[in-house]
Amino acid sequence: MTVNQTAKKLGVRFYDYVYDRVAGRFVLLSLADLITQKAQAMQA
């Protein structure tokens, strides 16, 4: 799965995510953190 596909699946716009990382803003959670949150929500 590509980063673009993962972001889309998690409801994050790919461009916004890449810009956030490249600009060093880190306002958005990492995709890994979003995956973890989604998995925890599904278990609850």
Q: How far apart are CA 42 and CA 3, in angstroms?
A: 21
Q: What is the pLDDT of residue 1?
A: 79
Are residues 17 and 7 in contact, defined by beta-carbon separation less than 8 angstroms?
Answer: yes
Residue 13 Ramachandran class (φ > 0 left, ψ -120 to 50 alpha, else beta):
beta
Task: State the Cα angle at 33 between 28 and 37, rounded to 5°.
Answer: 110
pTM of the full structure: 0.82
pLDDT tens track, the chain, 44 positions: 799 999 999 999 999 999 999 999 999 999 999 999 999 999 98
